[in-house]
Structure 1
């Protein structure tokens, strides 16, 4: 056990002193976000080649370029406002931000109007984001804040016109792990196993309101023994986004699905996964040194978003996002470069992001809007009109 894991273990032990156990959400929160040694704040945490996981922007810059084109279209649909704020949460090491901004320079008027803000609490990730932005020559275009609340209170931001974009944010928010029982519902807690590790124990619900996060159709399909996850933080975050946005769009890219399918495919308890050095790992091992992630319930994002004024404009896949915003044109250009091994390699990376039965279908795209007529804009959004 390295020093970071020991710090996390001590923090978990301290939190367990009173009750002897934690909800899985509390456990996951500490394992991932402990301010000094949680996974996302570890000095040794790496993303990308040789790291524990990679994201679509890291596979190829075409991802950021396509997202940039979609957001530029949003700007046009909103009447080319100035200023126009793009706010990103869960920015990783800043790859998407840099690629998006470099592509946006192709329209000087738009680039002048654009303000890019990253929400990042972790000092180490913020440092990596700044370093990457400086290396790519776009650091002067990015501002950083610690939270959505700070955006709301910011004298130059506040409630803004623009786009909130996330890529693999919601899958990393802490979840509660529940089970349908013979007489109702129970919740899984984490406790120490007496041998330096952890184990699950089933108990009563920590909060009956957790069941309100599950749609009625899913409840009707669950049998005793079936497991599922709910994420209160996801609902809170999407509602905060809706309150913050004066007029504009929320663009969410993540893996998961709508209910009831998202929940029913994980009734055997595999809805939470761990990754260590890009390989699956046991969820309760190497705590603090590995990534933990859970499928996103997009139906919850739609329902809770509507409560904050976010209308559902469209729901589709990453394949449509990329295909509708120029990826195939770039692939066709590369296909003309015969016997160019680099072109072949670039093309394969692009297609890996796009093709169905891979990342193209695995990642879903949700577009929500505020202060707009969904019916009026739906047919003018390239992501939603793309046909393979």
Structure 2
């Protein structure tokens, strides 16, 4: 019977792959093969002879492997006492790493981060790492606990002294007057912490009834734990309104609303702006810098989220009026190598037990200025100026003198002087006589202040 080339190839392949069995015993040896693991119907398709012209004879099969040849030689030699042997080549099999059933010491957040990296088959960005570490819904740093104050991990300006919130209130009231004293105005704080700044602002402005009566308070906070803290700090209560309820701050009677993220209320309702590729933000940031500035740094830190939020704020101010006040530590230029982690008021490695320390970086105020200006031609950007200049121009020096005169104890007076220095001073406090490790450090020049306002309202105080 003639066989097609395909049948010949299949036969040769089966001869190479099929295991050999050499049968021995007391008599002559026999050479047997296991039935190939291919169904008869499939083999018949390959071995059926053509009806037209015969095919040329098939080429000789390739020589068997050494191990298989040895098996055949033993079988055909007829040596008495030869035993059965099966040879299998496992060199091509994949050997997975040994699986351990020992419990892992990784935290749930670390396991989550590893799973993201494994799923992507590659690294995640620093921005993504920070977002997971700080705001992961289950294990994020800010999500399940109060991290502020001396008993927490770090202290913010509002926690240092009530005067910070009071001076911010002065700025807000001045801007409200420049807006024409509207009967309704949204007061929005991003990342309100414990709610301390807003509480001090409302107490300080409580005598200006028309201003507090116009307020509609909105807090952008993703942490359920901190939302509860803010609720208590602002002395909130839930009031029934028909079939619904609303939350009101008893400090001023203004309604209070919480939002998990910054949202933009347009004519079509609430919506969020979708993020853009980080590479585009890097390209944009480099375009804003001079060649001399770029030559001085080896790498550049870019915060796409900050640029996006700035664009949203500028867009909103352009259409609805109002202004934004931004106060944080940072630089008025390219930021490089500022990422840091803080736990219990001490610096730690950014990869040390993710979720247990705060991660932060300098604010690029130049980037904020350019982002706002590109978003709209109807806004103006002012500053930055140092926090010391900002608070001093608004009257913090007069305020601290008035508070000192009303102090009942020396401890209260010392606390006021210390808080004042931390807000406006530079470096170690010269008046400090306590333990060296508790010397107040001034943040007045490290922190900067910037304002974004609608051009129709003029220049905001104290940026004239």
TM-score scaled to structure 1, two decimals? 0.76
| 1:298 pairs with 2:365 | yes
Note if contact 1:8-1:288 (Cα within 8 Å) is conserved in structure 2.
yes
Match of 2:321, SS state, is: strand
What are the within-5 Å matches in structure 2 for residues 135-284 of structure 1?
A: 137-138=250-251, 141=254, 142-149=256-263, 151-152=265-266, 207=279, 209-217=281-289, 220-223=292-295, 226-245=298-317, 246-260=320-334, 263=335, 266=336, 269=337, 271-284=338-351
Encode CA deviations 1:106-139: one digit per residue, 9 max, x unaligned.
1011111122111122212211111211178438
1:29 alignment partner in structure 2: 131
Match of 2:444, SS state, is: helix
Find the aligned partners of 1:123 and 1:288 in 2 and give their Cα distance: 16
Match of 2:234, SS state, is: helix
Comparing 360-369 and 119-128, the one that deviates more = 119-128
1:189 alignment partner in structure 2: none
1:164 alignment partner in structure 2: none
Instruction: Give the CA deviation at 1:98.
Output: 1.0
Instruction: Give the CA deviation at 1:371.
Output: 4.4
Note if contact 1:68-1:103 (Cα within 8 Å) is conserved in structure 2.
yes
Encode CA deviations 1:157-181: one digit per residue, 9 max, x unaligned.
99xxxxxxxxxxxxxxxxxxxxxxx
1:128 alignment partner in structure 2: 229
Comparing 232-241 and 133-142, the one that deviates more = 133-142
Find the aligned partners of 1:239 and 1:152 in 2 and give their Cα distance: 14
Structure 1 residue aligned with 2:416, among 343, 346, 365? 346
Match of 1:230, SS state, is: coil
1:318 alignment partner in structure 2: 387
Instruction: Give the CA deviation at 1:258.
Output: 1.0
Match of 1:124, SS state, is: helix
Find the aligned partners of 1:206 and 1:329 in 2 and give their Cα distance: 46
Equivalences, count:
324
Find the aligned partners of 2:264 and 2:407 in 1 and give their Cα distance: 52
2:398 alignment partner in structure 1: 329
Instruction: Give the CA deviation at 1:152.
Output: 4.3
| 1:20 pairs with 2:122 | yes
Find the aligned partners of 1:55 and 1:259 in 2 and give their Cα distance: 23
Match of 2:142, SS state, is: helix
Instruction: Give the CA deviation at 1:286.
Output: 1.8
TM-score scaled to structure 2, two decimals? 0.64
Match of 2:322, SS state, is: strand
Q: Which gives a bigger RCO, structure 1 or 2 (Cα 8 Å, sep 6+)?
A: 1
Find the aligned partners of 1:153 and 1:63 in 2 and give their Cα distance: 35
Find the aligned partners of 1:15 and 1:347 in 2 and give their Cα distance: 48
- Structure 1 pair 36–371 and aligned structure 2 pair: CA distance change class (3 A): same
Instruction: Give the CA deviation at 1:363.
Output: 0.8
1:384 alignment partner in structure 2: 463
- Structure 1 pair 345–123 and aligned structure 2 pair: CA distance change class (3 A): closer
Aligned-residue RMSD, C-alpha: 2.9
Whichever of the two has the greater Rg, that structure is: 2
Note if contact 1:4-1:37 (Cα within 8 Å) is conserved in structure 2.
no
Encode CA deviations 1:184-231: one digit per residue, 9 max, x unaligned.
xxxxxxxxxxxxxxxxxxxxx973652322355355444598132111
| 1:6 pairs with 2:110 | no
Find the aligned partners of 1:240 and 1:251 in 2 and give their Cα distance: 14
Question: Where do 5+ consecutive residues of structure 2 fail to align?
Answer: 1-103, 237-248, 272-276, 428-441
Structure 2 residue aligned with 1:38, among 140, 148, 164? 140
